[in-house]
Amino acid sequence: MEQTSFHFSHDIPPDSCIALGDVHGQYYQLTQFVDWVKGSDARVIFLGDLVDRAKNPGDDLLVLNLVRAMCESPEDFGLASCTSLIGNHETMLLNALDGYGYRDWVSNGGDYANLKNFQEYVPWLRSLPYFVTVGDTLFTHSGGVYGTDPRDHMNSVTNREDFVWDRSVPKRGSGLVWWTKTLKKNVFGHTPRSAMPYISGPSGDSICIDTGCYDTGTLTAYNATYNQFTQFTNVKVKS
């Protein structure tokens, strides 16, 4: 089942848990999001792919600096908490910094002129989780693997890679019914289709909010608590 009707809102109700789709170095749209969410006492979750494909050299560093500050001191931004997941582009960046996969990183939009400057962020990037759960919602970067409990799928490096690379969930849905009675939906990024989010799976349990910001100019936030979407563009905020 796929749906094309979404509830957009610019309000942030109390006790909100808000996820943000793939930023990909689009610092301008990120600052719009931060200005919007600041002081809301919301819980914020970045879904990964903070870096690569930025319009301007050095913008990835600005994005990392701001998101890391939010995660380390959410109270300074008036947030209840802030978490960032690791995405496949953070993984490629770390590989390049480790001395391999450099060509893959550059060919996927890596800011090669600033490679050494990314070293400062390595400890923080290595600490980022592959998934988190809040209430009845699972947050992942790629969507995870269809019908698989992420806790059972983290037992090897190869399996963990699925949480940043696999594309089975955007096609099939999360298959939550096969392994959990607690979780009702999975919110993820990684696989954009257009400047609109999309819902997949027979039960509509999978919500993708990667709207290809580096290409479309549209960055999407999803309030999982209240099922509301808000978008930020390189022109203005949609509400």
| Model confidence pLDDT, tens digit, residues 91-124 | 999 999 999 999 999 999 999 999 999 999 999 9
Order of strands, sheet of 131-134, starting from the edge strand that comes earlier in the sequence: 131-134, 137-140, 185-188, 206-208, 198-200
The answer on pLDDT for 42 being more than 90 is: yes
| Structural domain includes residue 87 | yes
Report pLDDT digits (tens) over 210-228.
Answer: 999 999 999 999 999 999 9
Residues in Cβ contact with 176 at an 8 Å cutoff, skipping those fewer than 6 apart? 138, 183, 184, 185, 186, 203, 205
b/e burial code for range 46-83 (CB count within 10 A of at least 16 → b): bbbbbbbbbeeeebbbbbbebbbebbeebeebebeebb
pLDDT-based confidence at residue 2 (cuts at 50, 70, 90): very low
Q: What was the pLDDT predicted at 237?
A: 43
Burial status of residue 31 (CB atoms within 10 A of its CB: 0-12, 13-18, 19 or more): middle
| Structural domain includes residue 1 | no
Q: How far apart are CA 158 and CA 201, in angstroms?
A: 25
Give Cα 222 distance to the centre of its chain.
Answer: 10
Q: What was the pLDDT predicted at 5?
A: 61
Number of domains in the chain: 1
Q: How far apart are the first and last CA of the chain?
A: 25
| Structural domain includes residue 90 | yes
Segments forming the whole domain that contains residue 65: 17-238
| Structural domain includes residue 10 | no
Report pLDDT digits (tens) over 185-202.
Answer: 999 999 999 999 999 888
- Tokens (6 digits) for 7: 């509830």
| Structural domain includes residue 153 | yes
| Structural domain includes residue 170 | yes
**β-bridge partners, 19:** 45, 222
| Structural domain includes residue 9 | no
- Kindly state the percentage of the chain with pLDDT values over 90: 83
* pTM (2 d.p.): 0.94
Q: Give the CATH number, domain containing residue 221.
A: 3.60.21.10
Of 88-97, 118-127, 170-179, the one with minimum mean pLDDT is 170-179
The answer on pLDDT for 16 being more than 60 is: yes
Task: Give the mean model confidence (pLDDT) for residues 146-172.
Answer: 87
Half-sphere exposure of 211 (CA within 13 A, CB side): 22
The answer on pLDDT for 203 being more than 90 is: no
| Structural domain includes residue 12 | no
Q: Which residue has the tokens 């960032």?
A: 84
Are 114 and 70 spatial neighbours (Cβ–Cβ below 8 Å)? Answer: no
| Of 5 and 19, the one with more pLDDT | 19
Q: What was the pLDDT predicted at 223?
A: 97
Are 211 and 192 spatial neighbours (Cβ–Cβ below 8 Å)? Answer: yes
Q: How far apart are CA 20 and CA 56, in angstroms?
A: 21
